[in-house]
Structure 1
């Protein structure tokens, strides 16, 4: 083959690689725009928050492909990856904390109404011996099952609507909360722990469906306002928020309390239990240091349970 033929083929190949790289850069530009839309409150931001982990996988894969095909385009291609890292940062795992002599361990789960798995969830959670247990999406049978399982070790309990709390320590100032929903899917109690009183809010936020998320957003905003007016130095808010970690609807609550991030090598994703893809079961706190935070299977629910250890500052 003549040198000019080889040169032509080489130039043709380079041109083809450049065209492919440009197309892939275009894909990452689109991904970057979608990621940026995650900061928009309302349905758009919510939708992006749900698929944000997937967007990261795709943007990284595309950036690597561009680097292999045409390295000169790798820098612009990395913009989407960097933007994704900024967006996903609040959901990334944290470093393990230092345990203390008097930790407060809390287990929480959506037990899935009508699943018949309330007893299984309660039994599995009990095996971890938490100080405080909260359950959401309770129906009559699962509430009765939980009461039977917890009766011996958790003498203090309070429930309203579809949510309930069981404690080894006394509960006072119990009150139901509707948070603007019109019926009770949340509660507030003060737990008298050995280190002092802790104000605890348990919520099962309104379900999120296409075209119908106002009720959820209003509940989360009302919870944030309620927490803001709570003078207690130690506050915990937890439950099923029906909102991914990066959902704009959680920003108001995040301004009042610190989100507890997973810190023992897990993603913290809690739903669906069979293949967790998103974290919608959260713990927020004020006045504590986080010792450990993880998820675990419990019963037949479609949600993983959260297990969190906190210590007073």
Structure 2
């Protein structure tokens, strides 16, 4: 007598095991999708929470100005780290793929489009150098920098036309002057900010951007005129007050007040072409710097995160210009400061005095 192979109990157990493992792995046997759809778990109904988060992220990107600043300056806090919402989009994409949710994937098109519109251009390569370009370097040198000579040499290695420095302390200033003198014979220092130039400087003076509540001596702004082969350029160097993150929110009222004073001074500037270099303690998306960003062009290429130097999260060291274009901006190698230097190329449109 011959027994049929399918009558063997072991064979039945062996055949059933892969099917159970198949279901446990999350990949369903034929007909399983139909059962899940019958329970309302189709690709279009799964992942609704992920889709909602995607829409929220898109809203924050597109309408960040609508986030109120009245409560702890939440709007400025969001805008300070706005580019990093791109990482949220990446995480949501992973969740959407894990959930195999068509709804979430479609919803993610919204934050992707918003982020690309706001920041995609910064990823493009910079234009080729032109005949009317200036190279500038901005750096908060740090009042605890133990190697000012090395810092000065590192900045000079970028071969800029202008070098702006903040947090110049008395003991380090002679070192900067001596180290930069061979290549930068012209310089002006007002308080704790300074400018070194390959071009002659005239009409240098301190700039009053001190918040009203500060009563002690405080000089962190200057204005001068650089005489270049392209004409006269008004150059401003500024170090706006620091902001602090507290339990009550972002403390930036002094920074905002100082930015308003600086913006007013630039608006009154008689020279057409203006370059602003400084540690502004805010990103160009931060509404606290609107008195400046509404009047001046900002870099159109490059993120150049500059602070903190150990793990840069934001660019608070800025290069802006009026009647000129700020091209690609890039970070330079770390120095002894807690900021990274940034270098930018500026294309001039011409510089004439406004009557």
Q: Is the 8 A contact 1:107 1:134 kept in 2?
A: yes
Name whichever of 216-225 and 57-66 sits farther off: 57-66
Task: Write the distance in 2 (CA, Å) between the matches of 1:135 and 1:220.
Answer: 18
Mapped pair 1:109 → 2:135: no
Mapped pair 1:258 → 2:303: no
Q: List alignment gaps of at least 5 residues for structure 1.
A: none
Task: Write the distance in 2 (CA, Å) between the matches of 1:176 and 1:137.
Answer: 15
* Residue 205 of structure 1: how far off its partner (Å): 0.9
1:23 to 32, 42, 49: 49
* Residue 234 of structure 1: how far off its partner (Å): 1.1
Mapped pair 1:191 → 2:221: no
Residues 44-82 of structure 1: CA distance to partner in whole angstroms, max 9, x if unpaired?
121102232222211243145426612144333432333
SS at match of 2:114: helix
Q: Is the 8 A contact 1:243 1:249 kept in 2?
A: yes
Matches within 5 A, 1:240-279: 240-262=279-301, 266-279=302-315
SS at match of 2:41: helix
Partner residue in 1 for 2:79: 49
Give the direction of change, closer, same or farther, for the CA distance of 1:163–1:7 in structure 2 (3 Å limit): closer
Partner residue in 2 for 1:220: 259
SS at match of 2:149: helix
Q: Is the 8 A contact 2:299 2:327 kept in 1?
A: no
Partner residue in 2 for 1:177: 207
Q: TM-score, normalised by structure 1?
A: 0.87
Give the direction of change, closer, same or farther, for the CA distance of 1:8–1:104 in structure 2 (3 Å limit): closer
Task: Write the distance in 1 (CA, Å) between the matches of 2:344 and 2:239.
Answer: 18
Mapped pair 1:301 → 2:319: no
* More helix by percentage: 1
Higher normalized contact order (CA 8 Å, seq sep 6+, divided by chain length): 1
Q: Is the 8 A contact 1:37 1:48 kept in 2?
A: no
Task: Write the distance in 2 (CA, Å) between the matches of 1:188 and 1:41.
Answer: 34
Partner residue in 2 for 1:145: 175
Residues 80-117 of structure 1: CA distance to partner in whole angstroms, max 9, x if unpaired?
3333444546x834542232335322111011111213
Residues 3-39 of structure 1: CA distance to partner in whole angstroms, max 9, x if unpaired?
9984774447862866650121232244345445631
Partner residue in 2 for 1:282: 318
Task: Write the distance in 2 (CA, Å) between the matches of 1:75 and 1:7.
Answer: 20
Task: Write the distance in 2 (CA, Å) between the matches of 1:41 and 1:85.
Answer: 24
Task: Write the distance in 2 (CA, Å) between the matches of 1:298 and 1:304.
Answer: 5
Give the direction of change, closer, same or farther, for the CA distance of 1:305–1:13 in structure 2 (3 Å limit): farther
Q: Is the 8 A contact 1:110 1:301 kept in 2?
A: yes
Mapped pair 1:79 → 2:79: no
Task: Write the distance in 1 (CA, Å) between the matches of 2:111 and 2:347.
Answer: 38
* Residue 129 of structure 1: how far off its partner (Å): 2.1
Q: Is the 8 A contact 2:36 2:42 kept in 1?
A: no
* Residue 41 of structure 1: how far off its partner (Å): 6.3
Residues 162-183 of structure 1: CA distance to partner in whole angstroms, max 9, x if unpaired?
2111112111111111213252
Residues 209-231 of structure 1: CA distance to partner in whole angstroms, max 9, x if unpaired?
13421110111122112111112
Task: Write the distance in 2 (CA, Å) between the matches of 1:247 and 1:258.
Answer: 15
| Number of residue pairs aligned between Structure 1 and Structure 2 | 309
Q: Is the 8 A contact 1:126 1:150 kept in 2?
A: yes
